[in-house]
A and B are shown apart, each in its own frame.
Chain A
Amino acid sequence: MGVGNLNRRELLKLFGMSIGGTLAGHAAWPRRISAQSRKVTPLNVARNCIVIQNAGAMSPWETLDFKETKWTAKDLEIQKVNSDFYISKTIFPSYDVWAPRASLVRSLKGVAVVHYPAQYHTQAGRALNTAIIREVPALGSVIAYELQSQRRESDTFPPFMSFDLWNVRCPQIGSGMLPPRFAGLDLNTSNVFASFGDGNESAESKSLLSERWEALGRMLEVSAVGNDRIGPKADEYKASYDYAIRLLVDPRFKKALALTEQEKKRYGVDKDSGAAKFGLAMLLARNVLAADAGARFLWVANAYNGGNGVFDNHQNIYGRGALAPTRGTALSIYDSGPRFDRAFSSLIQDLSAMPGHEPGKTLFDETLIIVAHEFGRTPDINPHGGRDHFVDAYTNMFMGGGVKPGRVIGKTNDTGAKLVDVGWKYKEQPMMDHVASTIYSALGIDYSKKIEDTPSGRAYEYQQTAPLGGPAFIPRTAIDELFT
């Protein structure tokens, strides 16, 4: 009997565990989580969230907060999306698919000026603090933890999945103090198909895993796995295997990995020479969402060849021909922009056509989509023809999942050197911490919560209000202006 035919009870029996055995060791911990404010009512407008991390920090001045200065290239074919949003058709040929649906926050303030801690801030939703680094979970892990009560018996995909997060300067930071099952499953697009199949395997190879699984059970029975001396932790250890096998044999997982050549081409995979192909990551994210098998928070890292990221244009941002970086970790905007655009526009198109969970809604309607950066780039071009890091104001893009299109929050001056309008109801600039709250709120999670029984004893607030570095105090809030 192949393991795919076994129901959950039979699977557990195979491993000699009690019917109730799950990842029991940590299921009930942490215990002391409390809301800090009665004033927070999460919006609960999105079922899912995808964060697309444009690693290296895409320059806003050529893209989402376009500025015409003496350095601006003349061939960008600027188009008007609305009175506050102008965009280059050269850089984003399919902008019309997604730009009209977008809202922008242009007044984000960064803390760290270098990639590692800045990317950490993006992933954790808070600034890096080495004193408590061990226990701080990724934003996705907190979400996975919060959404576990909504998991169905049929859900096999982890609630938090990422794609090519291995390839960025700050890769997965893990679940911290939360149990490891909330750490997120990161799929490496350069080997995921070799590891887990591409949907084209023969029936024989599909049954091989089942065979081996059954053999493992037989050998472990003889090696006294079922012995009464083994304590409750055994359930957790072996439940890791149980969790894994259910995913590996789930037809929905196989289907998510089955990509056609046609759709790969549409997502620009054929034109992508990176170690990690952004188009593949976006296709997998689409399929994972469409499978409706439990994955609700997805993180797609757009990194290309690793290092500091594809958009880290310290030189030759407008490089072409001999000046175009082709073998390094960054691409000029003439290459990185269209690469992003091909995959992103295809994703938006597809999500808009796929039915959502609720009747009458599409996956786009139900999914908050964020294009995130770790900081901005300097308004002045440097002597190498590039832009350096800039934290005073940078831009993230939002759409789907209840976001009202056309909102532009925050305004910079003509060159981008100065912020002239914060754009929301607070005098402090919004930070990635508020982007985290926005995600929590959209998914129906009260971002005023805090975990009190942390290993260190220092309370973990879902949204930190006293961040290390940066302003002394930041408001506890989501960026509600995106939804109103």
Chain B
Amino acid sequence: MKRANLAVKITMVFFLTLVVTAQLPRQDRPQPAQPPINQDRLEAAHDPLFSSQDKAKEASRLTQAIAGALPGAGGSLAPIPRKNFVDEFIFGKMERDQIPHALLAGDAEFLRRAYLDATGLLPTPDEVRSFLGDTDPNKRDKLIDSLIGTEAFADQWAYHYGELFRTDDASFHLWTKEWIKVDRPYNEVFYDIVTPVTKNAKGLPTAQYYDPTAYVSNRCVIWTDADHLKGFNRLDWIDEVTSDIGRVFLGITMDCFSCHNGAGHADSVNLFLAGMRRTDFWQQAAFFGNMRPIGTSIDSAGAQFQNGQSMFDDLAPGYNTGDDGNYVTAAENRFPRDGRTYSPAFLLTGEKPKPGETARKALGRILPTHIQFARATVNIIWQKLMVVGLVEPYDGFDLKRLDPKNPPPAPWTIQPSNPELLEALAEDFRGNNFSIHRVIKTIMKSNAYQLSTSFEGEWKDSYIPYHARRFARILTGPEAVDIMAQATEAPFSVQHYGEPRAYVKQLTNPKNMKSRNAGDNNDVYAFMQAYYQSERALPPVDKSMASPVQAMMMMSSPVVTKRVGAEGKTRVATLLKSGKSDDGIIEELFLSSLSRLPGSGEVEVGKRLIAEKGRERGVETIQWVLLNSPEFLLNH
């Protein structure tokens, strides 16, 4: 018995040793000295990390605030015609849950909104008159068809995607604008973005996608050459790129589990992220493991490093977190990695590159086939058009809370405000050649998009997820300055790549307005900054909040004051010389600024202002007043 017991004990010790040894880190390569992770440093588990509630409530409050000043309708339970599957899902849900909704927007309200959303510009007074007078029952759909795919449309949406991609380069912007205009399949766009190979990044637009991530990595690739790679932390940069790809193309914030496992941190924030491990991130990052950026060498004459003229190839040995060759290996803006080498495996499915397939090309092939790529893409477009996304924020998807047929455990709820609609839009997108145009048209042609901002009766926050009314939003920086220039018939004249540009959206980057050769340009840039124009080194801030600085600019900036004046060829100057009556001038100003006809009370006030101040000063005052009205400053 004693011998048997001893044998059991020895066996247990033996197996215990085996088990313990198996848990130890691999000892076949030297482990870099790394400080232990201090648990105190990891903050307490988050509450909902990505709350959709704040943004939606903000939009709701803003809308409610200005709705009374806007022409429109009120809340109703009367059925609205369902024009496409968007309406089926939106109104079907409202009907099921007995949620009242706004009435359809009137023609003037719809027209201004459609122009702003599609092109970032206003309809001209003649276009307003023509549309208002058109009796064609299909005129709204025809208008939408006429706006999508135009040059102005491409400028507006290249701006949106420029903010999203953080474009800082002209060639990348022009490449973006081109695929937007011709509606290139978005899966092909993604493929091109992740697979650039070049001897000179300046010659390949898609290589410029990688510049901003270099700015937020702690080091900068330009300070390297083939012999001096110590200027760069390639793995940190790969991690930034991977996080960015996740944000833009999958709607997933990977930053968190690029630094620590999700368990213990994201448990009360995001079920999907709670299950993610750093090793999952590293396997995803390993798709870029062979990617090697090398900055321009210093030549023997001592020429300066040329910014952006990096080489990209796939000759690096892989994602080896213990030894990245001549590059700086140790993590400098994340917690230390574990010293192992990781092979690529797609985060959502584990799929690996095929034998002989370049890892980045594999990523370009694999990622768009997953439905999440489509969901993330359509959600961003929905948010641009409907102000509040089906999932908010756009990079806060919780993949474990998307399916009503497979709901998460209580108290978790389904995340999208309309999960069936999200799936339908996503399937329609990828079933139709990943067409961005199609998504935009589908949404804009729906009556859900065409509801009024005005809502009669008591509005409740609980109605927000139903999109029971149109939400108003503050204009973007370029929208604000461009429509001001347009409304006053005083466009900008910025020489840019050999041509004068009339609108900021025509520039490759709004930062181009920030110039040493100031003129108007610095004023305009300061103006845009008041509307939260980003520098694009970081992901967009996406604020829709009024601020006193905006008000100061609108009231006092020369960008506005010289455009409302009667000098030169401004709209005021032209109208004063036109021979039009006071009524005619007032009507024209309302049409050009607010895209609607004035009410009788407004005409009276306008005429009194002209009578009191004299014609010139009176008309200037009316123009200034219209530009400073909430109706002008909002997209509603």
Contacts and interface: CB of A to CB of B under 8 A. Distances in A.
Interface of A: 25, 111-114, 116-117, 127-131, 133-134, 158, 166-167, 169-172, 174, 180-181, 183, 185-186, 188, 190-191, 194-196, 209, 211-213, 215-216, 218-220, 222-225, 227-238, 240-241, 243-245, 247-248, 275, 305-306, 314-315, 383-384, 388, 455-459, 466, 468-469, 472-473
B49 interface: yes
A191 B518 contact: yes
A360 to B, nearest CB: 35
Given A130-B216, A220-B629, A240 B551 contact: yes
B516 A275 contact: yes
Nearest to B240: A130
B556 A275 contact: no
B605 A219 contact: yes
A202 to B, nearest CB: 15
B602 interface: yes
A171 B522 CA distance: 14
A293 B456 CA distance: 43
A383 B298 contact: yes
B269 interface: yes
B547 A240 contact: yes
Contact of A172 (B37, B240, B529, B609): B529
Contact of A240 (B253, B532, B546, B606): B546
Contacts of B298: 383-384
Contacts of A231: 61, 64-65, 459
Task: Please classify how large the interface on chain B is, using the bins under 10, 10 to 19, 20 to 34, 35 or more.
Answer: 35 or more
A225 B69 contact: yes
B169 to A, nearest CB: 15
A315 B304 contact: yes
A215 B48 contact: no
Contact of B631 (A190, A223, A232, A459): A223
Given A112-B218, A191-B526, A456-B50, A134 B69 contact: no
B522 A455 contact: no
B216 A472 contact: no
B342 interface: no
A301 to B, nearest CB: 13
A196 B41 contact: no
Contacts of B219: 113-114
A237 B556 contact: no
A125 B308 CA distance: 29
Given A248-B552, A384-B304, A456-B49, A180 B223 contact: no
B49 A133 contact: no
A180 B545 contact: yes
Contacts of A215: 609, 621-622, 624-625
B255 interface: yes
Contacts of A128: 216, 333, 538
B65 A131 contact: no
B35 interface: yes
Given A114-B219, A222-B601, 6 more contacts: A112-B218, A116-B215, A233-B65, A237-B630, A240-B550, A473-B38
Contacts of B539: 130, 133
Contacts of A234: 65-66, 68
Contacts of B50: 456
B124 interface: no
A459 B46 CA distance: 8
A186 B523 CA distance: 12
Contacts of A213: 555
A227 B68 contact: yes
A194 B556 CA distance: 9
20 contacts: A117-B215, A134-B393, A134-B541, A134-B542, A172-B529, A191-B557, A209-B555, A215-B624, A216-B625, A219-B626, A229-B67, A229-B68, A230-B69, A231-B64, A231-B65, A236-B546, A241-B555, A384-B298, A457-B46, A473-B41
A167, A170, A191, A388 — most chain B CB neighbours (10 Å) = A191
B43 interface: yes
B613 A211 contact: yes
A303 to B, nearest CB: 11
B558 interface: yes
B54 interface: yes
A130 B215 CA distance: 12
Given A111-B218, A116-B216, A243-B551, A180 B529 contact: no
A131 B255 contact: yes
A395 to B, nearest CB: 20
Nearest 10 Cβ contacts at the A-B interface: A457-B47, A233-B65, A244-B551, A466-B41, A131-B255, A233-B61, A227-B68, A234-B65, A222-B601, A180-B547
A194 B304 contact: no
Given A196-B556, A240-B548, A473-B41, A111 B333 contact: yes
Contact of A236 (B65, B214, B606): B65
B529 A225 contact: no
Contacts of B553: 195
Given A225-B68, A456-B50, A25 B556 contact: no
A458 B49 contact: yes
A314 B223 CA distance: 11
Contacts of B557: 191, 195
Contacts of B218: 111-114, 117, 469
Given A196-B556, A222-B602, A247 B526 contact: no
Interface in B102-137: none
Contact of B537 (A170, A216, A469): A170
A223 to B, nearest CB: 5
Given A166-B529, A247-B552, A188 B522 contact: yes
A166 B551 contact: no
Contacts of B304: 314-315, 384
B496 interface: no
B333 A468 contact: yes
B247 to A, nearest CB: 9
A129 B214 CA distance: 14
A293 to B, nearest CB: 14
Contacts of A216: 624-625, 628-629
A469 B255 CA distance: 14
Contact of B64 (A188, A224, A230): A230
Contacts of B243: 130
Contacts of A185: 548-549, 552
A224 B514 CA distance: 39
Nearest to A231: B64
Contact of B621 (A170, A212, A237, A244): A212
Contacts of B550: 240
Q: Which of B220, B256, B545 has the most CB of A within 10 A?
A: B545
Interface string B550-577: 1111011110000000000000000000
Interface string B209-231: 00000111111100100000000
Nearest to A245: B555
A275 to B, nearest CB: 4
B62 interface: yes
B302 interface: yes
B65 A183 contact: no
A408 to B, nearest CB: 28
A233 B68 CA distance: 12
Contact of B38 (A218, A228, A232, A472): A472
B629 A473 contact: no
Contact of B529 (A134, A186, A194): A186
B288 interface: no
A419 B344 CA distance: 41
Interface in B151-200: none
A14 to B, nearest CB: 13
A445 B613 CA distance: 51
Contacts of B217: 114
A220 B629 CA distance: 7
Contacts of B357: none
Contacts of A236: 65, 546
